[in-house]
Structure 1
């Protein structure tokens, strides 16, 4: 019986339209949560897979000493694959040309993860094998520079090799400090015969491991015990490439837009729940009068909302799947393979969102509804606002849980939560005070007087309506700004003439000639930065060593895209030290004023930390963790690095540069810049979909707030019309009243949006704040247009019904 009754009531409520706002809002919330969580889950898995291939394994150990090979037998690990690589730079010559190359000597286990994509005289193919003895593979750039074809002979050191294949793609493309020079892969069995690796040679030994997580942790623990200064252990983790950072930032945009839309939907559910409760007061009283127990009535309503949740989950997750398919079609070009299938997390977070919306915004209203006695209904002494503190607290708790579920950060969730609460209290209090005390009578002599009388008489209700409109407009403007202004700022951070080529290993003898070459060819370049490798030792009692080497430069002027956040930049007079990036300062607990030792190849320098700065690593210009004053490095040998822009149609200039300066390594990042720009364009398209859903959520919130307000105005309208007021008077006064509410809400919404955008720019995306004047114009305009438009629609239902009909319904 209870089951049949609950189904009938649910169908009737859906048909009557009283569940429409709640139903649509839940569907929107679930669509957005499921769509974005499905997409980001698959994206993170793909990035993890890409990072694994980029690394070449689950763990990589880098050292300039061959210390691990003799110790591998001591490792007690199971089901774990290992391989060794030796990386070095050397000149390769053909019959016609010679060129400096990054050479990777690999053992038979190469590649440990993934496949190589190669091309030979028979065409392109994929393989999991290393080169045969006596053969080498080269990338296309080196092949062109040496002017060789398949089967030609090339020379490395004292040995001759046959060039057999062109490298199109290699899994471990991030390996080694030599990775940016034109690349060659050879068999490790041929290395000794070349006589290139001698004592004192600059060589890098890489050891890669792949296996179960528990075994990899054992390997890590062992390597930590033999690790020395200059060695590096890299575990499978986040992609720190420019492309990886771009994709990671795109996720932040999606999550931001999704969070805003979900919060709007949650607010709509709360408003619609209040309206639903008011409508069902008499139903509950009648059921209690007929003898139904409170526990049965509670079960009845729980079943109704179970059906609501089930329907919205089915529809919302179906739409969410279509939504993430759209996102994937936009972004899939940046992954070499299909994205992995999603895990269980998107399903859990979607169900959690639906559950929180139910428990936080619906269940408290139902609990309050069930506490009303039939006698109070008959005496018409019901005040549902009594005990509303518990309802507000439940809503606030649900609001915070939704924030935390999306951000996964307690501190960030608290900042946003407390900011919204503070803004809301200030806004509601301000409006409550501005409207002042209401005077006696309705002031129905004119539309304007009636409108202002209503504003004062319903100042508490109007304050909460303004709050709902403000949230709807403000959060929509934040999403709009994210899709236009924030993305625009991101795009503008990559100008058309951003450096798309880097040149490294420039010797002091070549520096002047290269500067002249770039000037003659009218190639725009960044400054030439001197570079040397150095380790850091903190000057304390323990003489603490920092466990890695750094490339250090020394210059007089602060580079562009760098900003001092502590201390001061170098002065022309006085004692100068070094400047650290904030990442290094935080990672190694180095503070302003700390004394440290810099150990280069032939000198140890005692100095101090003079400043700490932020670095924009996405600037596509040379950046450094450590910058010193030139006076500290007067006798230090170095090479130089620079970057420059060559238009795509003049790429032959890069080849000409490499032919003229053969020991200089030049590599292009044109494809990376192109991919980042394409990602921005695709993110813009995807965000437009989220913006549309956000606007729909905002409209439903405003509509629900107005609809709830008009329910309590019907009786007053009937009284006024019975006393002779015209439909025109009621319609015009309502439009004036809600236009003013829309103006106030739009202005406050602009303030909310501007505050939110400032926080997002400075704290979330870590960019400089900007001023967006259009927000202050769009907010009030949209407020008046949307609120008065919805009012015009709703007032028709009031004035088109006779007072008799309204009294009967009341």
Structure 2
């Protein structure tokens, strides 16, 4: 009986429009959560389903130095298959062009797990192949074919070799998810590396030993190998395959999840407003049912069942919209996620249903309780409103459920609590600003016409409702402005902070015997460049304390720093762009060191500390006599640690330089590579452009999510308008009965709507500017210019949009005859 009656009531209310706004708010929230959930689920399934393929093996030993031969030898003795790969950046050239690529040299048998895919030519279907390129050949990905105008079989200059490009590399098993891949990929055989002359002292090479075989033999070999791994060597298995990819995607998904919660928060406000209006419009009907014998419990169950059906419908439609929208997110992040992703599972459907349930029964339950407790006497005395003893507790319960959702989306209790506090603080600040603005605007009536005076008077008279409209619309608009306009202003400020002649080319892998020849070549081209020595060293101790990654359990950056090799150099004078932050510069020869201040803070290094480095197997001890602040944006060659001459001169060194190359002389980079094939020339302009492209993709994905936020803000705005329609209907009827013309009232409504939109746009733009300035100065150390154009344009645009949307919802009030409205409100 209850189910049938509840379903019939739900259908009637949806057809009559009483629950459409509530339904829209729930659907938008579920769609936003489901879209991000489907994306996360697809990526997660891809990572889990291709764990071994992502490694190309069962186990991998990775290092930044050549691996001991005993690791592969012991694996062979245990019946395991092995192969090796090297990955490093280098320049290649063809057809008079040069291009920085990421070269991957693979040994026989690669890959041990998964399959390579290649095509005969760009645009042709790819095929699965059993192994990598044969010796004396190379494979290039399609990007490299386009950049160098390559033809299949054409020779490609790789160091001292000319190798024909025999195939198009379309997929590598251990590169299925290509996160922040900045350069095209080139695949070649490991046997060709020696003849290329590319691997010399100072080269940035990642060494990997791939191992595969039976599980028992793998476990035994792993137990044997792990205690023998040295500094900078790590063992990766399917349980931690590609941790950098997992971390990057986890952070991106967490950010998208927190961004989605803005939509959920605004949807919660819309649900509360719509449920309150539903309660007010059904008090009389419920009072009649109470008079006819329906108990409070049965009345509550009837409406609760109806709302359960509404939540189920909203969850189904929202999940469908989210499933469609997640394809747009995948497309927007195409540069971050390469390869085929499996279809998502049903998990996000549960997430959407959870959100619908939390929002509906967290923020619609208080009005439902009031509806069930309506007094029967209201049939005779309509002035009796709903009882409200439990309203505050009900909304507190809803906020607690919403806070649980935020913590769950954050994935970390501490981060989640900060997010709850941040959202609460932002809402409180926006509410205070909007309330103050409404009060001030209400005093600006002056001696203008009736529409202006009455519109601003109504704005102030309904201050709470209008403040809610401004806050809801302002939050959604601020998010879009912060990611759109403010992001462009930050990029523009960063570009303006670079000198016009800032270095835009870095050259690495310069050998000592090439130093003078390269200096002469650069001078002959009219290029001013300083060749700085560079020594690779590993930090062993700070004072008497051995340094290891375990010393920094909560700092990933510190762990990476102590596990890698540092680049050290020596200087007699303080380099340009460096500033002494503490201590003194070198007074003369001695076992001293100057450390970059940020590195010192991260690793806990102070003035007077003694640092012990291992340089090519030789220990060097230096005392920290100064800390330096560096201008990293100068694009000059900088080092974390500097010593005076005489400390590192006997260590094996390579050289590095940077210089400015005007756009009209780009060909000089290709000529440099042809003259010195082993050098790696990094085009900073191209790299920065690629970074901006990747960041743009992430921002684009987040902006897609914030479109849901803006839609939720619009629903809140419309809900706030509808919640005031009954009251406005009576007000307008009284004013028309007192002689006000319809044109005058229309002008008053338009002024009120424009004021709400304009204030929301202004507060949103100022908030975005303030957050952008804070990020620029505290995080990016920039000083962007503040422009009044953005707040004014945002205020104008939001005022126009709000006026149009609000007028479409409220114009029918003026069409109701005054007598009918007065009778209805009586």
TM-score band, normalised by the shorter chain?
A: 0.7 to 0.9
Q: CA deviation at 1:482?
A: 0.6
Residue matched to 2:353: 351
1:579 pairs with 2:583: no
Q: 1:627 aligns with which of 631, 641, 644?
A: 641
Q: CA deviation at 1:661?
A: 2.1
Q: What is the alpha-carbon distance in structure 1 between the residues aligned to residue 387 and residue 430 of structure 2?
A: 22
Q: 2:271 aligns with which of 258, 269, 272?
A: 269
Q: 2:539 aligns with which of 536, 539, 545?
A: 536
Q: Deviations over 1:336-364 (max 9, x none)?
A: 53222224443333223222221322223
Q: What is the alpha-carbon distance in structure 2 between the residues aligned to residue 399 and residue 479 of structure 1?
A: 23
Residue matched to 2:472: 471
Q: CA deviation at 1:722?
A: 3.4
1:283 pairs with 2:285: yes
**What CA RMSD, in Å, does the superposition of the two structures yield over aligned residues?**
5.5
Q: 2:813 aligns with which of 788, 798, 801?
A: 798
Residue matched to 1:389: 392
TM-score normalised to structure 1 length: 0.76
Unaligned runs of 5+ in 2: 91-101, 550-561
Residue matched to 1:39: 39
Secondary structure at the counterpart of residue 563 of structure 2: strand
Residue matched to 1:7: 7
1:676 to 1:424, Cα distance in 2 relative to 1, 3 A: closer
1:15 to 1:620, Cα distance in 2 relative to 1, 3 A: farther
Equivalence map 1:362-761=2 (5 Å): 362-375=364-377, 378-379=380-381, 380-383=383-386, 387-408=390-411, 409-424=415-430, 426-427=432-433, 430=436, 450-451=454-455, 454-455=458-459, 458=461, 461-486=462-487, 489=490, 503-518=507-522, 520-521=524-525, 528-544=531-547, 548-554=563-569, 568=582, 571=585, 577-579=593-595, 586=602, 594-601=609-616, 602-608=618-624, 610-611=626-627, 626-631=640-645, 632-642=647-657, 653-665=668-680, 676=691, 678-679=693-694, 689-690=704-705, 692-757=707-772
Matched residue count: 760
Q: Deviations over 1:601-623 (max 9, x none)?
A: 2451223385487998xx89798
CA contact 2:56–2:113 (8 Å) conserved in 1: yes
Q: What is the alpha-carbon distance in structure 1 between the residues aligned to residue 804 and residue 140 of structure 2?
A: 63
Q: CA deviation at 1:600?
A: 1.0
Q: CA deviation at 1:109?
A: 5.9
Secondary structure at the counterpart of residue 385 of structure 2: coil
Q: Deviations over 1:6-50 (max 9, x none)?
A: 222212222222222222222222222222332344346557889
Q: What is the alpha-carbon distance in structure 2 between the residues aligned to residue 67 and residue 202 of structure 1?
A: 23
Q: Deviations over 1:447-486 (max 9, x none)?
A: 5655565455x3xx51342133133124313213313432
TM-score normalised to structure 2 length: 0.74
Secondary structure at the counterpart of residue 713 of structure 1: helix
CA contact 1:85–1:207 (8 Å) conserved in 2: yes
Q: What is the alpha-carbon distance in structure 2 between the residues aligned to residue 67 and residue 34 of structure 1?
A: 50
Q: CA deviation at 1:125?
A: 5.7
Comparing 31-40 with 675-684, greater Cα deviation is found at 675-684
Q: Deviations over 1:693-712 (max 9, x none)?
A: 44333222212112212322
Secondary structure at the counterpart of residue 338 of structure 1: coil
1:85 pairs with 2:100: no
CA contact 1:65–1:204 (8 Å) conserved in 2: no
Residue matched to 1:22: 22
1:558 to 1:271, Cα distance in 2 relative to 1, 3 A: farther
Q: CA deviation at 1:417?
A: 2.3
Residue matched to 1:96: none
1:210 to 1:353, Cα distance in 2 relative to 1, 3 A: farther
1:402 to 1:598, Cα distance in 2 relative to 1, 3 A: same
Q: CA deviation at 1:552?
A: 1.0
Comparing 393-402 with 800-809, greater Cα deviation is found at 393-402
Secondary structure at the counterpart of residue 568 of structure 2: strand
CA contact 2:80–2:217 (8 Å) conserved in 1: no
Secondary structure at the counterpart of residue 712 of structure 1: helix
CA contact 1:112–1:208 (8 Å) conserved in 2: no
CA contact 2:586–2:644 (8 Å) conserved in 1: no
1:185 pairs with 2:189: yes
Q: What is the alpha-carbon distance in structure 2 between the residues aligned to residue 221 and residue 690 of structure 1?
A: 46
Residue matched to 1:98: none
1:87 to 1:808, Cα distance in 2 relative to 1, 3 A: closer
Residue matched to 2:93: none
Q: CA deviation at 1:3?
A: 2.2
Comparing 800-809 with 52-61, greater Cα deviation is found at 52-61
Secondary structure at the counterpart of residue 207 of structure 1: strand
Q: What is the alpha-carbon distance in structure 2 between the residues aligned to residue 26 and residue 478 of structure 1?
A: 20
Q: CA deviation at 1:309?
A: 1.8
1:396 to 1:334, Cα distance in 2 relative to 1, 3 A: closer
Q: CA deviation at 1:279?
A: 1.3
Q: What is the alpha-carbon distance in structure 2 between the residues aligned to residue 225 and residue 629 of structure 1?
A: 34
Unaligned runs of 5+ in 1: 92-100, 438-442
CA contact 1:581–1:615 (8 Å) conserved in 2: no
Q: What is the alpha-carbon distance in structure 1 between the residues aligned to residue 125 and residue 378 of structure 2?
A: 86
1:597 to 1:345, Cα distance in 2 relative to 1, 3 A: farther
Q: Deviations over 1:718-766 (max 9, x none)?
A: 3333344443444444444454444444443334333454566678x86
Q: What is the alpha-carbon distance in structure 1 between the residues aligned to residue 22 and residue 5 of structure 2?
A: 21
Residue matched to 2:553: none
Secondary structure at the counterpart of residue 68 of structure 1: helix
CA contact 1:451–1:736 (8 Å) conserved in 2: yes
Q: CA deviation at 1:690?
A: 4.6
CA contact 1:269–1:361 (8 Å) conserved in 2: yes
Q: What is the alpha-carbon distance in structure 2 between the residues aligned to residue 595 and residue 648 of structure 1?
A: 46
1:29 to 1:666, Cα distance in 2 relative to 1, 3 A: same
Q: What is the alpha-carbon distance in structure 1 between the residues aligned to residue 470 and residue 104 of structure 2?
A: 64
Q: Deviations over 1:148-202 (max 9, x none)?
A: x9899x9x99xx999996684755689xxxx9998752469x99x99x99xxx99
1:7 to 1:757, Cα distance in 2 relative to 1, 3 A: farther
CA contact 2:10–2:309 (8 Å) conserved in 1: yes
1:181 to 1:302, Cα distance in 2 relative to 1, 3 A: closer
Comparing 619-628 with 272-281, greater Cα deviation is found at 619-628
Q: What is the alpha-carbon distance in structure 1 between the residues aligned to residue 173 and residue 492 of structure 2?
A: 29
Q: Deviations over 1:87-146 (max 9, x none)?
A: 699x9xxxxxxxxx98957354644444264879x99864333677xx554467999x9x
Q: What is the alpha-carbon distance in structure 2 between the residues aligned to residue 487 and residue 84 of structure 1?
A: 47
